[in-house]
Structure 1
């Protein structure tokens, strides 16, 4: 950004790796990309370290990111620490930071508590919402803290247009910008074939492969996903073979296993969690990506699939709308019945799949990290950061 020099950022987040999750990964990746660009980043979190570090332990990793870990021993690793405020206040004052950047979900007690602490220290603050404020909207309005933050100059943003609209409503119609999650488009695209895989050596038709990467939790609607796959199979020409792979772990795994067994879905695989390299190989060898999550603030897994070239089938009016246009990067539906129809349509139409894959591989999404870093620095500027 013109006129900017390097900044020193205090990242405020409930959770951080080694704990796994979407927010954790995004905060880590953002921090790393900022450091690679020459900025300084120190993370303040209530998550223990890889060897159980907590109580204010500080370490700088090989990636150049310094992490202050203020976890306390609580059941389930709940990310709260009401005793850390004096020490965090001291470190924020001593750190000579240019800006504080808070990362928030629907419930983020640690980061939420640190925003007024940073404001009291005179720091410019930006707050990124990685969540969908849905039924909790009235609670946010009654508490009023988002409106107060806006009045004090906090630059609020959210990871998608849909999420930003809801945050703004919960903050008394305060301005909320969109700063998306980031993805390394070139990495996901590297090696992806621009077309369907070759048929089997014996000439038999290759099954159309539908993939999903998701946490197997009720909020992500994995049972509905199986029902959509089953519906697609029922309306698809029996001559078109179909297979599906659902990557991920979570509390509903047993429920899904029973569903698959009881309905004879022997063409559906549940391999569990895989690493990023294996997920990229899976995406690049598949034909369609499917998600049924409706309370999706962004949809990083769908964006990764889109970056790898896959046509994406997703519900309309979620964060996925920001990078999937209906009929362009994939197919959007208003109901599970429409999603099943979309999967069946793509499975039956290889020309449509090839057209969308070619578009996805030759038209990078706007959520590449190079663009996200610029948008993030813009929010630091909007918050009032003025690095020397």
Structure 2
């Protein structure tokens, strides 16, 4: 098939949608498809205003249409791109257009409108928690119009799919197209934590890690407070990987709670350093309440780490409570789960062994099959 992937954001921007759309493009080419990307993100050398960047990938190339406008200060939006997008989609003889949608995605919304009006079979995937945005979708009737023109809808988790379903016309099928990772790239580097031990036999420090942006939605301050409430600072250490506008506030809270040296802000690290950290760690903490998916959780799970996370979100598709780790409902339960993760060494080792030997379902090999099925559904719907 000849496939158009359309997304506001794309590398060199860094983020979940960016990495997933880029990886999907490469995987589709590797599976024998022809892929072109349309984005409002400028290229690594400033490519914009319709420049086509030729990106080599294993098995071929991806043409990236950089429909960015430099006068907008680097923001991945460009309302002036609609005409050019329409011409290129019309003339490109695409078999399917796959639009990737976030909470605020003006370029993706334009792409959905243009593709469905042109009659191109269209698949739309939401990478976000709709929450209050669902009201806007219902009020404007935009999903109804897209569905009436033959678009098929999906989201990256069961949780996110239920929200899209609630905003869509009654009876609309919303598929689940999960994000995916290369499991080999995240495979456990250390087997030492997999060896079951007698409860309490080890006198070593338990090493916990969390990877997240330091922004309010990710709840880094609440993570520090839960670690303090767990009462394990004398026998455990928490490394927080990531950066953001709350770094100063998080650092202040660490000092206030007398956790200096026990909770460490690592900042951003590259993948090699992250893999090395996971190889040394004993458990992973995820304090975010409303995750559409949870790529960082999936990576840690694939690396063999027991997971403690807030349930009731997209993380539920990755972590089975009591099997891959613990899912909790509030901050008091989060603190209790951290305490168990630190103190119950036998349980921790059993979860580690399971996670290191039973890979998660969200591998590219499995997800690509679902993506191709969604494209066939879009073509049949149109």
**Common fold, TM-score beyond 0.5?**
yes
Q: 2:38 — aligned with what?
A: 44
Question: Distance in 1 between the 2:162 and 2:26 partners?
Answer: 29
Q: Which runs of 5+ in 2 are unaligned?
A: none
Q: 1:149 — aligned with what?
A: 146
Q: 1:183 — aligned with what?
A: 181
**Once the 2 structures are TM-superposed, how far is the Cα of residue 373 of structure 1 from its aligned partner?**
0.3
1:228 pairs, out of 223, 226, 229, with: 226
Matched, 1:324 2:325: no
Q: 2:55 — aligned with what?
A: 61
Which segment drifts farther, 372-381 or 279-288?
279-288
Q: Tell me: CA distance 1:332–1:190, structure 2 relative to 1, closer, same or farther (3 Å).
A: closer
Q: Tell me: CA distance 1:61–1:140, structure 2 relative to 1, closer, same or farther (3 Å).
A: same
Q: 2:273 — aligned with what?
A: 278
Question: Distance in 1 between the 2:354 and 2:87 partners?
Answer: 51
Kindly report structure 1 stretches of 4+ aligned residues shifted beyond 6 Å. Answer: none
1:211 pairs, out of 183, 205, 209, with: 209
Q: Which runs of 5+ in 1 are unaligned?
A: 1-6
1:228-247 mapped onto 2 (5 Å cutoff): 228-232=226-230, 234=231, 236=232, 241-247=235-241
What is the SS of the residue equivalent to 1:110?
helix
Q: 2:367 — aligned with what?
A: 372
2:90 pairs, out of 85, 88, 93, with: 93
**How many aligned residue pairs are there?**
373
**Once the 2 structures are TM-superposed, how far is the Cα of residue 216 of structure 1 from its aligned partner?**
0.8
Question: Distance in 1 between the 2:309 and 2:336 partners?
Answer: 12
Q: 1:250 — aligned with what?
A: 244
The root-mean-square deviation of aligned C-alpha atoms, in Å, is: 1.9
Question: Distance in 2 between the 1:139 and 1:123 partners?
Answer: 25
1:283-322 mapped onto 2 (5 Å cutoff): 283-322=278-317
User: Do 2:208 and 2:284's aligned partners in 1 also have CA atoms closer than 8 Å?
Assistant: yes
Question: Distance in 2 between the 1:368 and 1:194 partners?
Answer: 25
User: Do 1:312 and 1:324's aligned partners in 2 also have CA atoms closer than 8 Å?
Assistant: yes
Normalising by structure 1, what TM-score? 0.92
What is the SS of the residue equivalent to 1:328?
coil
**Once the 2 structures are TM-superposed, how far is the Cα of residue 129 of structure 1 from its aligned partner?**
0.3
Normalising by structure 2, what TM-score? 0.94
Q: 1:3 — aligned with what?
A: none
